[in-house]
Structure 1
Amino acid sequence: MRWFDEDLNLVESREDLARYLIGLAEQIRDGHLAPENVVTSDFVDSAGRWTRSMEGFFENVIGEPVPETPDWALIAAIFRAALVYE
């Protein structure tokens, strides 16, 4: 699968995921990324809601069904989506 966010395409291992998440945190701290969900409970709730409804994203944006088995990039995508999903 190809993600439209090129950074997600680079997440292939646990170490890549760790690096990606640390990078997201740095972008937030530096003001380069403004999350909608700044409260932890809102962020976790958004991650759950996006995960529950990601079929629409996969059908409309990726053009593929949701993978049966998630990979490291999908986990990264859930974190990324939770920053802005309401």
Structure 2
Amino acid sequence: MHFGDFLALLITVLAPITLLFYFVRRWFDLKQRKLEIDATAVAEKAVQQATRNAQLEQRVRVLEQIVTDGGAQTAAQIEALRAIPVDKRQVNA
């Protein structure tokens, strides 16, 4: 085997294999980055849901108190709720 034959073998066999490994690695890096972005989005959504859940639980506690308290306290609490601006009372869906 001469040096020219060896060089031809390197060019025809190893160059495509090297390129293939390069592109496969890039593809896996892209997939990993996409999974990281998706994980971040899911975590952010979980935080939003937890916040919304806490807000709803607080509203339910207030409503439970209104339902179980006497008439004078109920009227005062209803008036206190009316004093809160509408945009702060509403929970985004």
Provide TM-score, normalisation by structure 2.
0.28
Higher helix content, 1 or 2: 2
Larger Rg: 1 or 2?
A: 2
